[in-house]
A and B are shown apart, each in its own frame.
Chain A
Amino acid sequence: MLLSTRDLTKTFPGTRALDGVSFDLKAGEVHALLGENGAGKSTLIKCLTGAYHRDSGDILFEGQPIFPQSTLEAQAIGIGTVYQEVNLLPNLTVAENLTLGHQPRRFGLIRPRAMHAQAEAMLAGYGLEVDVRRPLGYYSVAVQQIVAIARAVHLSGRVLILDEPTASLDAREVRMLFDVIRDLRARGLGIIFISHFLDQVYEISDRLTILRNGRHIATRAAADVDRMQLITLMLGHELQQDAATRQRPAVQAEGAIKFAGTGRRGRIAPFDLTVHKGEVVGMAGLLGSGRTESAEVMFGAAPTDSGTVTDSDGPVDLRNPRAAIAAGFAFAPEDRKTDGIIADLSVRENIILALQARRGWARPIPQAEQVRMADDYIARLDIRTPDAEKPVGLLSGGNQQKVILARWLATNPRFLILDEPTRGIDVGAHAEILRLIEDVVAEGMSILVISSELDELVAVSHRVIVVRDRRHVSELTGDDVTTDTIVRAIASADDMPGAGA
């Protein structure tokens, strides 16, 4: 065994994140770690790499017990890790991020040129066009993720750990990553791979370990479990399969919101878009194509500098998010850590925050009402938290996403913009969120969904807008909404006929 744990236990106040977990990683295998949000996957790897100190249990590296006190020690024995959220430093250059801690030196001084060459070499093979001298923060989340992977791969002499590395990557980049992983596996590394995309799990993994509520449930060869069994192992029950049957209520004609020539210089070309009441509009495109920018413009987070927005009552004021919220808009952003959650506030406070902001400071929501709302949404969205008073920053990623959804649902908006709402969310919650979208749409809410998962878009959208190079290049409706057509629209060099750009 390359790396194994015996009876690993880790407790946080109010939560037992790991409960006697035993786990083995062999050399030359890709071992997927699976489980619902909050199952303890990230906690397990953080204990393995010394980022957390375990309460009890053993960690063995090649049969020898190790006691990593810091990630530095883990790196020293050849464990490279990509942690769940992009964990590099945006203020350092790409090269500095890649080489931090092992910069080439002469007489104790860093040699910048050699450092840049080394960084470029580390990035070769990922098909990235970046200037390693630029600050990392200049690049998109996807680029940052790849840089993080490149760094971890470089550091991984023996073990590579990837905690949801693909959440913000598109298909092409995932393919490239998998090529790298296969290559490393062939060279005898042990690789731990965490993902909520079961397709990817089946594509790359040799074995699977399933955690639930901090406990080890099963370890199987990937070939021995089928998808349904796997999901049942993860959830502890079968997945209700009603989301697959697509029966959407027809969109309503009145109450549409019309964007005409809306745009912002340098961010997104002016576009026209009409969102009907009770309609789900999907938005597809490659990373960096301008989907988030579209959403920000539509929510007033990046105010428009052209065009008009109207509804049946006349012009809609979208000067800033506050105005947009007053007009009944809502926006669950892509980067929940920096744009979404208020980490130190409790789940309850995070849920009521948008509603409270809209009511104004002078009319506080009564405590009892707050508790009722929080409990209600915790139950409805199945948010895994010991209680409503836990700081939201301590929840697992998927549950944080649900809290943000709850925050916006609490304001009962008429137009809800969801930017990558299911990123990092487990299969169970994924299905729940899709069901939720159907529910609120049935009540007449309009929704714009931005997602890199085309299956998901196809499953929920009435209509899909395809974005490329910061322009809305085409619009697919009705039976045209299939993964195939979307992929083609994204890839095609010229605009499809009937494009609404």
Chain B
Amino acid sequence: MSIRALPLYATIAIFLLAYLICYIQFPAMLSTRVIGNLLTDNAYLGIVAVGMTVVIISGGIDLSVGSVIAFSGVFIAVVLRETDMHPMLAFALLLAITTAFGAAMGGMIHLLAMPPFIVTLAGMFLARGAAYMLSIDSVPIVDPFYEMMQRAYYLMPGRGRLTLLGMIMVAAVVIGMIVLHRTRFGTNVYALGGGEATARLMGVAVGRTTVAVYAFSGFMAGLAGIVFSVYTSAGYPLATVGVELSAIAAVVIGGTLLTGGNGYMFGTLIGVLTMGLIQTYIVFDGSLSSWWTKIVIGALLLMFILLQKGLLRLRVSP
């Protein structure tokens, strides 16, 4: 157990170290406000990364999630604008759609033996295109239920807000941990990532598992879409472009191997928080031009990954 978890420990250690460095430079970084923000602002990313973790551990990848989030927002906004459906019902409808969408991609991957990268890339175009077709304009959501959800937070000492959205993300991570580490489905996911042919010979229902994996990711993307729509109280077809790459980066920083079969859900949470930390640090610094922002994000990403590799090598070699 402990050997497999080494990347996870390395990730946690690096995160804490990074936080310490930030704190020394900007003491305000340790306020409950920043911590609350870290959870809330990255809620949608964290939720989508939970699905992505499962997909990546199964040896696949899901590029469609960013578009699905955008689609979800537009869908909910348009439904709430055009009908007087209760938001909860719209959520249920949406989750059914995104889950089915994920399942359909999983089905194509399995039945047609097509690489996930390509199928989900097509899915990414399709979901974004569908969002455009619903509305090219951003659609505000005015709904008492939405306001209620936005105002649902616990004011921590220091005026930090522990929001409902942040809690949904934490809950998603916990559910992800249970699904991945404590169910047969979860073990099958690891098995699939270890080698599809072998998993099949060992009696894993490869097709069913593949479909379920992408359906799970679709569900999480839909949930992230809901959270995002609450976060911005609008649906916007151009939203969350490139979020799939952020999610992949978060999963990788969290110590999950892109080759599949290895990784921890908790690591993904740390990865998401690390990405959020980088973002916050750059804003606190406030002196970077647009281009240096990009370069610094890339450099920090690289640093995290190299540090992780270095730590692992140190620990493994003696």
Given A110-B182, A110-B184: A92 and B200 within 8 A (CB)? no
Given A100-B187, A100-B191, A138-B3: A88 and B198 within 8 A (CB)? yes
A87 interface residue per 8 A CB criterion: yes
Interface string of B189-209 (1 = CB under 8 A from A): 011011100111111110000
Secondary structure class of chain B's binding surface, majority of residues = helix
Residues of chain A contacted by B205 (CB below 8 angstroms): 70, 72
Interface string of A416-434 (1 = CB under 8 A from B): 0000000000000000000
Chain B count of residues within 8 A CB distance of the other chain:
25
Residues B199 and A89 in contact, CB atoms below 8 Å apart: yes
B308 interface residue per 8 A CB criterion: no
Q: Using a CB-CB cutoff of 8 Å, which residues 43-89 of chain B contact chain A?
A: none
Interface string of A81-109 (1 = CB under 8 A from B): 10100011111110011001101010011
B1 interface residue per 8 A CB criterion: yes
Complex: A100 Cα to B180 Cα, angstroms: 14
Question: Smallest CB–CB gap between B51 and chain A, Å?
Answer: 20
Question: Smallest CB–CB gap between A141 and chain B, Å?
Answer: 14
Q: Using a CB-CB cutoff of 8 Å, which residues 146-183 of chain B contact chain A?
A: 178, 182-183
Given A103-B184, A110-B182: A83 and B190 within 8 A (CB)? no
Question: Smallest CB–CB gap between B216 and chain A, Å?
Answer: 15
Among B193, B198, B203, point to the contact of A101 (Cβ < 8 A).
B203
Residues of chain B contacted by A105 (CB below 8 angstroms): 184
Complex: A7 Cα to B275 Cα, angstroms: 62
Among A71, A91, A134, point to the contact of B261 (Cβ < 8 A).
A91
Residues B203 and A71 in contact, CB atoms below 8 Å apart: yes
B262 interface residue per 8 A CB criterion: yes
Given A89-B191, A91-B190, A134-B3: A70 and B200 within 8 A (CB)? yes
Given A92-B190, A100-B203, A103-B184: A87 and B261 within 8 A (CB)? no
Residues B202 and A100 in contact, CB atoms below 8 Å apart: yes
Residues A109 and B198 in contact, CB atoms below 8 Å apart: no
Question: Smallest CB–CB gap between A305 and chain B, Å?
Answer: 12
A188 interface residue per 8 A CB criterion: no
Complex: A109 Cα to B181 Cα, angstroms: 9
Complex: A436 Cα to B18 Cα, angstroms: 61
Residues of chain A contacted by B190 (CB below 8 angstroms): 89, 91-92, 96
A135 interface residue per 8 A CB criterion: yes
Question: Smallest CB–CB gap between B38 and chain A, Å?
Answer: 30
Residues A89 and B261 in contact, CB atoms below 8 Å apart: yes
Question: Smallest CB–CB gap between B317 and chain A, Å?
Answer: 9
Question: Smallest CB–CB gap between A78 and chain B, Å?
Answer: 12
Residues of chain B contacted by A75 (CB below 8 angstroms): 203
Complex: A92 Cα to B199 Cα, angstroms: 11
Question: Smallest CB–CB gap between A150 and chain B, Å?
Answer: 13
Among A88, A112, A135, point to the contact of B202 (Cβ < 8 A).
A88
Residues A89 and B201 in contact, CB atoms below 8 Å apart: no
Residues of chain A contacted by B201 (CB below 8 angstroms): 51, 71, 81, 83, 87
Question: Smallest CB–CB gap between A153 and chain B, Å?
Answer: 14
* Closest residue of A by beta carbon distance from B4: A135
Given A51-B200, A109-B178: A89 and B195 within 8 A (CB)? yes
Complex: A81 Cα to B183 Cα, angstroms: 24
Residues of chain A contacted by B193 (CB below 8 angstroms): 91
Residues B191 and A90 in contact, CB atoms below 8 Å apart: no
Q: Using a CB-CB cutoff of 8 Å, which residues 292-338 of chain A contact chain B?
A: none
Residues of chain B contacted by A93 (CB below 8 angstroms): 1, 4
Residues A92 and B182 in contact, CB atoms below 8 Å apart: no
Complex: A51 Cα to B200 Cα, angstroms: 8
Residues B194 and A92 in contact, CB atoms below 8 Å apart: yes
Complex: A83 Cα to B202 Cα, angstroms: 10
Complex: A210 Cα to B200 Cα, angstroms: 28
* Closest residue of A by beta carbon distance from B1: A133
Residues of chain B contacted by A103 (CB below 8 angstroms): 184, 187
Q: Using a CB-CB cutoff of 8 Å, which residues 43-86 of chain A contact chain B?
A: 51, 70-72, 75, 81, 83
Question: Smallest CB–CB gap between A144 and chain B, Å?
Answer: 11
Residues B199 and A110 in contact, CB atoms below 8 Å apart: no
Question: Smallest CB–CB gap between B175 and chain A, Å?
Answer: 12
Question: Smallest CB–CB gap between A356 and chain B, Å?
Answer: 28
Complex: A92 Cα to B1 Cα, angstroms: 10
Instruction: Choose among A51, A91, A96 the residue with the greatest number of B CB atoms under 10 Å from its CB.
Output: A91
Question: Smallest CB–CB gap between A42 and chain B, Å?
Answer: 12
Residues of chain B contacted by A108 (CB below 8 angstroms): 183
Question: Smallest CB–CB gap between A98 and chain B, Å?
Answer: 10
Complex: A138 Cα to B3 Cα, angstroms: 10
* Closest residue of A by beta carbon distance from B262: A91
Complex: A399 Cα to B304 Cα, angstroms: 46
Residues A92 and B3 in contact, CB atoms below 8 Å apart: no
Residues of chain A contacted by B187 (CB below 8 angstroms): 92, 96, 100, 103, 110
Question: Smallest CB–CB gap between B57 and chain A, Å?
Answer: 9
Question: Smallest CB–CB gap between A48 and chain B, Å?
Answer: 13
* Closest residue of B by beta carbon distance from A137: B194
Question: Smallest CB–CB gap between A134 and chain B, Å?
Answer: 7
* Closest residue of A by beta carbon distance from B206: A70
Question: Smallest CB–CB gap between A52 and chain B, Å?
Answer: 11
* Closest residue of B by beta carbon distance from A80: B203
Question: Smallest CB–CB gap between A110 and chain B, Å?
Answer: 5
* Closest residue of B by beta carbon distance from A101: B203
* Closest residue of B by beta carbon distance from A82: B201
Residues of chain B contacted by A89 (CB below 8 angstroms): 190-191, 194-195, 198-199, 202, 261
Complex: A97 Cα to B199 Cα, angstroms: 10
Among B1, B184, B203, B262, point to the contact of A72 (Cβ < 8 A).
B203
Interface string of B1-23 (1 = CB under 8 A from A): 10110000000000000000000
Residues A71 and B202 in contact, CB atoms below 8 Å apart: yes
Interface string of B254-285 (1 = CB under 8 A from A): 00000001100000000000000000000000
Instruction: List 14 other contacts, CB 8 Å, given A91-B194, A93-B1.
Output: A70-B200, A70-B205, A71-B203, A91-B190, A91-B262, A97-B202, A100-B187, A100-B191, A100-B202, A108-B183, A109-B178, A134-B3, A135-B3, A151-B202
Q: Which residues on A are within 8 Å of B, measured CB to CB?
A: 51, 70-72, 75, 81, 83, 87-93, 96-97, 100-101, 103, 105, 108-110, 112, 133-135, 138, 151
Q: Which residues on B are within 8 Å of A, measured CB to CB?
A: 1, 3-4, 178, 182-184, 186-188, 190-191, 193-195, 198-205, 261-262
The 7 closest A-B pairs by CB, nearest first: A89-B194, A91-B261, A91-B194, A72-B203, A109-B182, A75-B203, A133-B1
